[in-house]
Amino acid sequence: MTTDMHSAAEPLDLLGVGIGPFNLSLAAMADGVPGLRSAFLERTQEFRWHPGLMIDGTTLQVPFLADLVSLVDPTSPWSFLGYLKAIGRLFPFYFSEQLHIHRAEYDAYCRWVSERLTQCHFGHQVDAITWDERHQVFTVDYTYENGDEVLAGRGHARNLVLGIGTESAIPPVLRPLTDDPAVTAIHSADYLSRRAELLTQRHVTVIGSGQSGAEVFLDLLRARPEGAEGLQWISRSPSFAPMEYSKLGLEQFTPDYTRFFRRLPEETRDRLVPAQWQLYKGISGDTIGDIHDELYRRTLTGGWPDAVLRPATAVRGGRASGGRIELELEHIQEGGRETLTTDAVVLATGYTERPSDGLLHGLAPFLVRDSAGRPVVDADYRLTLDGPVTGSVFVQNAERHTHGVGAPDLGLAAWRSAVILNALTGREVHPLPSRTAFTTFGIPRADRSADGADDTAGSAARR
Which CATH number applies to 3-165+354-425: 3.40.47.10, 3.40.50.2300, 1.20.20.10, 3.50.50.60? 3.50.50.60
Q: What is the model's pTM?
A: 0.93
Q: Counting Cβ atoms within 10 Å, is residue 311 exposed (0-12), middle (13-18) or buried (19+)?
A: middle
pLDDT in tens, the chain (463 residues): 343 444 456 999 999 999 999 999 999 999 999 999 999 999 999 999 999 999 999 999 999 999 999 999 999 999 999 999 999 999 999 999 999 999 999 999 999 999 999 999 999 999 999 999 999 999 999 999 888 889 999 999 999 999 999 999 999 999 999 999 999 999 999 999 999 999 999 999 999 989 999 999 999 999 999 999 999 999 999 999 999 999 999 999 999 999 999 999 999 999 999 999 899 889 999 999 999 999 999 999 999 999 999 999 999 999 999 999 999 999 999 999 999 999 999 999 999 998 888 899 989 999 999 999 999 999 999 999 988 999 999 999 999 999 999 999 999 999 999 999 999 999 999 999 999 999 999 998 765 544 444 443 333 335 5
pLDDT score, position 287: 96
Reference 105, options 135, 151, 67, 140; nearest CA is 67
Give the whole-angstrom CA distance, residue 399 versus residue 416: 11
The reply to whether domains 3-165+354-425 and 168-243+281-351 share a CATH topology is yes
Break the chain into its structural domains and give their ranges. Answer: 3-165+354-425, 168-243+281-351
Q: Are 170 and 180 in contact (CB under 8 A)?
A: no
Q: Which fold has domain 168-243+281-351?
A: FAD/NAD(P)-binding domain (3.50.50)
* Whether 12 contacts 157, CB under 8 Å: yes
DSSP 238-291: SS-PBP---TTGGGGGSHHHHHHHHTS-HHHHHHHHHHTHHHHSSB-HHHHHHH
Written as one letter, the residue type at 91 is F
